Amino acid sequence: MRPRSPSSIGQRVDLIRLKIAEGQTHRQAAATLGYSRGWTRKWLRRYRQRGLSALGPPPARAPHPLARFSPAVAQAARAYRQTHPLVGARRVLLALAKDPALAGARLPDARTLHRFFVAEGFVAPRLPRDQRPAPAAVAARGDPHAVWQIDHQDHLALAGLDELTVLQSIRAPQAGLAIGADLFAGPRGAHGVPLDAFLDALRQRIARWGKPQVLQVDHAPLFLGQPQRQFPSRFELFCAGLGIGVRPIRPGRPTDNGGVERQHRIADGVLLGPTFADRAAAQAELDAHLDALNRRFPSRAPACAGQPPLVACPDAHHSGRPYDPAHEWAEFDLDAVDRLLAQWRWYRTVGQRTGQISFDDARQGVGKAYRGQMVILCFDPADRQVVIHRGGATLADLGPEIRRFRCAAFEQATILGCSQIAGRPVVEQEATRQ
């Protein structure tokens, strides 16, 4: 049977209904609609690849990026890029400017030339940036523990200690309160100290002072993950489960965390100079000095009016939001973690050879039928799985679901880690040892 051309959108939709809803074979569907089996296979394949949007008319082609320039410019740029496939648009533009054949011709800028290379298939289009949740809102000013600033200082050489030291400082700037400062052996800086050690120190400070509403951090990978921000950090998920928001400061603006930066300098005055028998002795000296700052020394914080923080703000002894490490596992709010994860959206390109994508430093199979296509991933709180979707008509639309998988980084045991002070069910402890 010879196919009629062209087919209508309604006929293509009828084909999908006959094949999927009624389960007809290609022969039956082709006979019903009056088309060939090749036609039915073509449109069913397009539907499986791109969803209902594939059944519509093809989108109108956008004007060529070099349509407003001489055809000789496009021909020369195409030829140069074919000969030099790894050079960028700026380098090609220099070559075009020196080409005698283009003397006097108007040349595009580097950005337009790059768009031309993308349209010609020389450069793969970039994936959209992963969508992440908005930062935690600024807490009310009336609460002395509304915001804590936390930061690290690396490579402190303390007299009497062989290894360099890392300092983790926490400050509540609203009340001028020194929450704590903890020392760690860190010859390679903060990134060489296990995150579990930092979190245990934070747990002790929260147990002493109560939970803050927000932890304000810089853009260090320990707090926010890699600079590309393609994945929620374990620190963010840990804080979410405790009911604490995480708010990054502006990039390149350490003065946004000026209170804790100033506390670093105060700690340096205590630590740099004297000789200590060990790191525990240095920690005891630092703790005593910070306690004196809170109880005896006048503070310049506006809320203190020249008085010591705990004298000017008696309610600052505790935030009123208790935390007990012994009950951390039972009280950890996994639903809050799920609400945070549900706000993320990840974009990946399926590998041309493997049919896989990378997620949480692991390979996930999508299928060779989707090789080279963009897929969208989101988190489903209903079953706590990551869902892979085909791309929709726009970035905001999700196409049909492809498959689901569990991500170990989102499990409660992974988020809480191996703590030396927090309680954990015996079953989980045994699983961690294994």
**Residue 412 corresponds to which tokens in the numbers above?**
């409660």
Q: What does the buried/exposed string (b/e) look like for 151-169 if buried means 16 or more CB atoms within 10 Å of the residue's CB?
A: bbbbebebeebeebbbbbb
CATH topology of domain 147-323: Nucleotidyltransferase; domain 5 (3.30.420)
| Rounded CA separation 192/154 (Å) | 10
Q: Which of 58, 279, 45, 79 is nearest to 162 (CA)?
A: 279
Q: How high is the pLDDT of residue 8?
A: 85
Q: Report the pLDDT value the prediction gives residue 4, as an integer from 0 to 100.
A: 54
Quick one: pLDDT at residue 361? Answer: 87
- The predicted pLDDT at position 378 comes to 95
Q: What's residue 123's pLDDT?
A: 84
3-class secondary structure, 176: coil
Give the whole-angstrom CA distance, residue 214 versus residue 223: 13
**C-beta atoms surrounding 189 within 10 Å:** 13
- Grouping H, G, I as helix, E, B as strand and the rest as coil, residue 70 is coil
Helix spans in 5-109 (H): 9-16, 26-33, 37-50, 71-83, 89-98
Average pLDDT of adjacent 10-residue blocks, the chain of 434 residues = 66 88 89 89 88 78 82 93 91 93 92 91 79 75 90 95 95 94 93 94 97 95 82 95 95 92 94 94 96 93 91 93 95 96 93 92 92 93 96 81 95 95 69 49
User: How many Cβ atoms are within 10 Å of 177's Cβ, its own excluded?
Assistant: 28
Q: Where are the domains of the chain?
A: 9-55, 71-120, 147-323, 336-413
